[in-house]
């Protein structure tokens, strides 16, 4: 779709969005689905996603790829890995994964840049098919986190933190590496909250900037999500995933982590953030050399944490 035509269309957000975010979605969906562009199964998934703001692709990750990724991560924590980068929530500094590093509370950043096993999971065929249908072009993977424990993060919208030059053209996925058990700090989401109105952080921007915005604006936004959701009777549900399930959610779907009631329980998962291949993640403004993307199994990928040009890759060239 041309930029001029897209500018003329009406979206739920003043920041635009995907074709499912157009106010004429009912009419547009009839046109697209009537032409036989997608299967009946995919049509049902898209309609549900447009209505609820999320979809669960049951058992969409293969058992073999789940096992290989888990093995690679376990080996990195046991023996260390000279390339993998980890972070602890609340601490800005990143560090290499060293032998014996405590897995609990540690997140691995952009593991797909280093581990083929992560890249394979994040390019699972059914996931790629769904993302491509919403983006109407090749999906670009530009950020990932893998962790063992629930985040306990309050309800939030990714658009406040995960920044691309077209802010509403963002989708995220959560791949369950194990069955989720009650009390493990389950992932939660507020059904329908992707249709909340835009929150004004000031400066006509969709994201919160910790360097320039007051902390109170962030706190006000967090309260606003809860209050507005309650006013609209949006339900907060827990994702009781089975191993291999993939949850995909909308850029503005409010989600977070429930409190961990049983600290002996893990909630192992791999999260990925995607945008259309033609969009640009925010990190390319300060690191334009990282804008180059590589291809793998129907997606492109780039990273703000790794210089992929200096690393082994599994693609057939950059773009």
Helix (H) or strand (E) holding 54: strand 54-57
The pTM assigned to this predicted structure is 0.95
Please state which architecture CATH assigns to domain 53-310: Sandwich (2.60)
User: What distance in Å separates the CA atoms of residue 43 and residue 244, rounded to the nearest whole number?
Assistant: 22
Which tens digit of pLDDT belongs to each residue from 51-62?
Answer: 999 999 999 999
- Average pLDDT in the 39-43 region? 94
Give the HSE-up count for residue 148: Cα atoms under 13 Å, Cβ half-sphere.
17
CA nearest neighbour of 61 among 130, 127, 115, 114:
127
Which tens digit of pLDDT belongs to each residue from 153-198?
Answer: 999 999 999 999 999 999 999 999 999 999 999 999 999 999 999 9
Residue 213 burial (10 A CB sphere; 0-12, 13-18, 19+):
middle
Q: Using 50, 70 and 90 to split pLDDT, how confident is the model at 264?
A: very high
Q: What count of other Cβ atoms lies within 10 Å of the Cβ of residue 62?
A: 15
Q: List the beta bridge partners of residue 260.
A: 184
At residue 30, the pLDDT reads: 92
Bridging pattern class, strands 81-87 and 95-97: antiparallel
Residue 315 has pLDDT above 70, yes or no: no
Q: What are the structural domain ranges in the chain?
A: 53-310
Name the residue with tokens 């959701």: 229
251, two tokens:
């850029």
CA nearest neighbour of 275 among 300, 255, 309, 292:
300
């Amino acid at each position: 779709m041309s930029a001029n035509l897209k500018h003329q269309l009406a979206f739920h957000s003043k920041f635009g969005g995907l074709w499912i975010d157009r106010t004429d979605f009912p009419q547009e969906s009839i046109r697209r689905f009537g032409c036989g562009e997608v299967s009946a199964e995919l049509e049902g998934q898209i309609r549900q996603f447009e209505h609820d703001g999320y979809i669960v692709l049951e058992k969409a990750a293969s058992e073999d790829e789940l096992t290989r990724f888990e093995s690679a991560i376990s080996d990195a924590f046991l023996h260390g890995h000279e390339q993998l980068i980890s972070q602890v929530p609340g601490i800005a500094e990143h560090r290499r994964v060293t032998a014996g590093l405590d897995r609990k509370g540690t997140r691995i950043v952009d593991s797909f840049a280093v581990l083929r096993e992560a890249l394979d999971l994040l390019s699972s065929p059914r996931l790629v098919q769904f993302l491509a249908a919403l983006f109407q072009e090749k999906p670009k993977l530009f950020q990932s986190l893998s962790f063992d424990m629930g985040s306990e993060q309050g309800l939030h919208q990714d658009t406040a933190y995960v920044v691309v030059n077209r802010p509403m053209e963002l989708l995220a996925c959560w791949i369950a590496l194990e069955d989720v058990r009650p009390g493990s700090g389950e992932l939660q989401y507020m059904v329908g909250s992707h249709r909340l109105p835009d929150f004004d952080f000031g400066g006509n921007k969709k994201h919160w900037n910790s360097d320039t915005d007051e902390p109170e604006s962030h706190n006000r936004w967090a309260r606003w999500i809860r209050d507005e959701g309650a006013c609209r009777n949006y339900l907060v549900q827990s994702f009781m995933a089975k191993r291999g399930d993939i949850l995909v959610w909308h850029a503005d779907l409010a989600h977070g982590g429930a409190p961990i009631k049983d600290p002996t329980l893990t909630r192992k998962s791999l999260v990925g953030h995607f945008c259309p291949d033609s969009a640009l993640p925010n990190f390319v403004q300060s690191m334009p050399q990282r804008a180059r993307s590589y291809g793998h199994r129907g997606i492109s990928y780039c990273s703000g944490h790794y210089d992929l040009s200096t690393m082994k890759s599994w693609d057939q060239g950059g773009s």
